[in-house]
Amino acid sequence: QKEVEQNSGPLSVPEGAIASLNCTYSDRGSQSFFWYRQYSGKSPELIMFIYSNGDKEDGRFTAQLNKASQYVSLLIRDSQPSDSATYLCAVNKGGAGSYQLTFGKGTKLSVIP
Amino acid sequence: EAQVTQNPRYLITVTGKKLTVTCSQNMNHEYMSWYRQDPGLGLRQIYYSMNVEVTDKGDVPEGYKVSRKEKRNFPLILESPSPNQTSLYFCASSSIFTSEYEQYFGPGTRLTVT
């Protein structure tokens, strides 16, 4: 089983819809989880992190964590064409404040105007 | 302005010729990391450093060396590059506040080893 799995997509959603991006991980001891956005030809950008079960909201983004199911998701509300990018899920193998990250291969999101 | 710089941005070299990719940050972050990104394999951590003189291996350290003599700099050294090290390399700088994560990536270095 791969350590961090994401559906590679592409995931296409119409403008204004909710985009739902999913990630599963294998290390049950993982403590913190990250979502990055990477535009084509650009560097990854950290957009959300979460370490407690439940939801965490930041603007149009909501990260959801279910440690029992080893599942992390990212919801993007009111999707805009500018959200079209590859979204990377990462799992932190280290303790609090560390960045010992294992990444999924990313999900490509396309928001259709 | 928060900034992570990498040099060079593009490099074509030959097998076995030692090279160094520099990384510098202006945010006084303790934590710095190197990653490589390859099609089909995603982003993988090479080395990380929690502070000056403290470094540790990531998931794919073979063939790489790092040093952290100053807080702001974290160079990646390929002592004998091979074609399988052809990749896109990113340096990242991060804070270590335990309740808030902040991380910035450099612009990337595209390395080709022939």
Which neighbouring-strand residues pair with A13?
Answer: A111
Residues of chain B positioned with their CB less than 8 A from the CB of A98: 31, 50, 96
**How far off is chain A from B11, nearest CA to CA, in Å?**
16
Given this model, what pLDDT does residue B25 score?
A: 97
Nearest residue in chain A measured CA to CA from B102: A46
Q: Are the beta carbons of A98 and B105 separated by less than 8 Å?
A: no
Beta strand spans in chain A (E): 4-6, 11-14, 19-25, 32-38, 45-50, 54-58, 61-66, 71-76, 85-92, 101-103, 107-112
**How far off is chain A from B30, nearest CA to CA, in Å?**
10
| Torsion sign across C-alpha atoms A97, A102, A104, A110 | positive
> How does residue B95 score in pLDDT terms, banded at 50, 70 and 90?
confident
C-alpha–C-alpha distance, residues B32 and B74, integer Å: 7
Q: Does position B100 have pLDDT exceeding 80, yes or no?
A: no
Number of residues assigned to chain B: 114
Given this model, what pLDDT does residue B55 score?
A: 95
Tell me what percent of the residues of chain B surpass a pLDDT of 70.
Answer: 97
Q: How far apart are the first and last CA of chain A?
A: 37
Q: Does position B43 have pLDDT exceeding 70, yes or no?
A: yes
Cα Dmax for chain A: 41
Q: Does position B57 have pLDDT exceeding 90, yes or no?
A: yes
Using alpha carbons only, give the angle A6, A8, A14 rounded to the nearest 5 degrees. 105
Given this model, what pLDDT does residue B99 score?
A: 64
pLDDT in tens, chain A (113 residues): 569 999 888 999 999 999 999 999 999 888 899 999 999 999 999 999 998 899 999 999 999 999 999 999 999 999 999 999 999 999 998 877 788 899 999 999 999 99
C-alpha–C-alpha distance, residues A42 and B108, integer Å: 8
